[in-house]
Amino acid sequence: MNIIELIGIVAGILTTVSFLPQVIKTWRYRSAKDLSLTMFICFCLGVFLWLIYGIYVSSKPIIVANFVTFILAGTILYFKIKYD
Amino acid sequence: MNIIELIGIVAGILTTVSFLPQVIKTWRYRSAKDLSLTMFICFCLGVFLWLIYGIYVSSKPIIVANFVTFILAGTILYFKIKYD
């Protein structure tokens, strides 16, 4: 693996797991007032389309990263609807 | 352009512009309490690495999408630090 692939993998991991702290914070404080519903609806839709795209082009990194992101961002969207 | 490329482009646009409503909401209400600082630090770092990756592999879509996302997510991070 060369440095460029490593940068791509680290980038993918960071942009995926970064949603976990938001899930934990929103769940712990049961508060999502400051989160934008429009953002998470658009983002979840976009990530879902990335998932479809990844399946079509058979790219495991795109599938795995966007599946995890969809679960995390979808959880935040659920909390936003539930706690607002 | 085939349907797969179209899905990818729409996915990229959605996951990029989805941060705009959050920028507007946080700026309008001057409130970022419910946003996770850790999320936006990790996400901005990840998007920056995607930008570096895109430059290395000379991929315009990756460069453009992540440059715009970096500006938007970076603005939210700035607001989070400023309004908290």
Q: Which domain holds residue B27?
A: 3-83
Res B61: pLDDT: 84
The two structure tokens encoding residue B34: 């419910």
- Average of per-residue pLDDT across A57-66: 90
The region of weakest confidence among A38-42, A75-79, B23-27, B60-64 is: B60-64
Cα separations in angstroms, A82 against A60, A66, A78, B29, B58: 32, 23, 6, 21, 42
Instruction: Output the pTM of the full model.
Output: 0.91
* Domain CATH for B58: 1.20.1280.290
The confidence score (pLDDT) of residue B84 equals 86
Option in A26, A32, A34 nearest B32 (CB): A34
B3-22 per-position pLDDT tens digit: 998 999 999 999 999 999 99
- Whether A2 and A42 have beta carbons less than 8 Å apart is answered as no
This complex has an ipTM of: 0.89
Mean of the pLDDT values across residues A27-38?
96
Quick one: DSSP state of residue A54?
H
Q: Hey, what are B55's tokens?
A: 């430059």
Best CA proximity match to B84, nearest among B33, B29, B28, B37: B33
- pLDDT at position A14: 96
For range B36-50, the mean pLDDT: 97
Please provide the average confidence, as pLDDT, over all residues in chain B.
94
Number of structural domains, chain A? Answer: 1
How close is the nearest chain A Cα to the Cα of B64, in Å? 16
Question: So what's the pLDDT on residue A84?
Answer: 86
A vs B: CB pairs below 8 A: 125
CB A36 to CB B52 under 8 A? no
B29: nearest CA in chain A?
A: A34
